[in-house]
Structure 1
Amino acid sequence: MKTAFKIVVLLVTFVFISCKGNAQETKKSTFPESIGIINDYSEILTELQRNELTKTLYNYNIKTTRQIKVVTVDSISPYTKIQKYATDLGNHWGVGTAEKNNGLTIVVCTPCREMAIATGTGTELVLTNEICSTVLEKTILPEFKKGDFYSGIKKGITELIEIWE
């Protein structure tokens, strides 16, 4: 009888550990894997546009060690706030250098009709939330409203880089 009880406890423990492991794997899979500097999962950019933005951001990274990643997604689920999603995604991917925390992550969710700019703590010393919000509202969104995602992203990146210099 005691042996049967021990076996049942062992099986329940094993099942619990298996479920916990699966829950952790699910949490990790909340974010897509980074495929580069431009992560156009929503396919709103042409290959030529992705290549041009990649070249600009790659050269900027080489010159300054500052890293900017652009991400387009179709969903931010299970998140409800795109700013939190962008911050957590940037942290998850390790955007920027760990020592300087000088990363910047731009997330566009076209079906959500939302966008966010998340900065590392080193970046936000220059690119404050106010500056990022202004670039979003006055530079990027007007182009998006015209249906020109590429122009909005390119102009926004250019402006952010100019301020960051």
Structure 2
Amino acid sequence: MKTLAKLFILFFLAFNLSNCKTAKSEQKPSSNFPKDIIRPYAFGKNDFPEKRKEVNDFEFIFKVDEIENLTKIIRDYERKTTNQIAIVSISSTGKYKDFDKYAIDLSNYWGVGQKNKDNGLTIVFSKKLRRIRISTGNGTEKILTDKICKTIIDQIIIPEFKTGNYYEGIQKGLVALIAKWK
């Protein structure tokens, strides 16, 4: 009888363990995103993920073709001007309480913009936290002032976000920023 009880327990454990493995594998994203795009980030000692490319979609908001289109716009603009742009969607700011400070520090940590020109711009937003910040380098902010960035956020990006059109908001905002940044 003890042997039968042990077999039953072993069978029960083996069955449940195999179900756990199946459940975990079913939770993986089922999209066609390359692995380096869908891999979640781990906060380092600075609470910042490592920059991967021009568009860093850590909230998995954009489709692959949308990422490719935004990347093309940014790369074409950088080739013409040397100005650098990064777009970041993020679901958490780690230990940071201030989203704006996080966005500025992330942009500095990543080194967006050329050091001698300080010509970087980073758009950091979070669908989950319902926040957005455009962070500019010292050279960039002479042209793209806080007032201009705020106007673009309020009049172009936010209206699209409110209707769930995150790609359109970022794309239109990016185009507007580039048009002003000459």
**In the alignment, which residue of structure 2 is the partner of 1:27?**
45
Q: Specify the SS of the correspondent of 1:118.
A: strand
Q: Specify the SS of the correspondent of 1:107.
A: strand
| CA RMSD across the alignment | 1.1
1:77 shift after superposition: 2.1
Which residue among 101, 104, 116 is the counterpart of 1:99? Answer: 116
Structure richer in helix, relative to its length: 1
CA distance in 1, matches of 2:119, 2:98: 22
Q: Does 1:84 align with 2:101?
A: yes
CA distance in 2, matches of 1:26, 1:90: 15
Which residue among 51, 66, 76 is the counterpart of 1:59? Answer: 76
Deviations 1:87-139 (A, max 9, x none): 10010000010000000000011111001000000000000111111110110
**In the alignment, which residue of structure 1 is the partner of 2:156?**
139
Question: How many residues align structurally?
Answer: 140
Gaps of 5+ in 2: 1-42
CA distance in 2, matches of 1:158, 1:82: 24
Q: Percent identity?
A: 44
Displaced runs of 4 or more, over 4 A: none
Equivalent residue letter for 1:119? T
CA distance in 2, matches of 1:33, 1:156: 24
1:143 shift after superposition: 0.2
Equivalent residue letter for 2:158? L
Q: Does 1:47 align with 2:82?
A: no
CA distance in 1, matches of 2:129, 2:120: 24
Deviations 1:128-157 (A, max 9, x none): 111111110110000000100000000000
Deviations 1:13-72 (A, max 9, x none): xxxxxxxxxxxx9533x1000010000010100000000000110110111000110000
Q: Which has the larger radius of gyration?
A: 2
Gaps of 5+ in 1: 1-24
Equivalent residue letter for 1:71? V
Alignment TM-score, normalising by the size of structure 1: 0.82
CA distance in 1, matches of 2:127, 2:164: 11
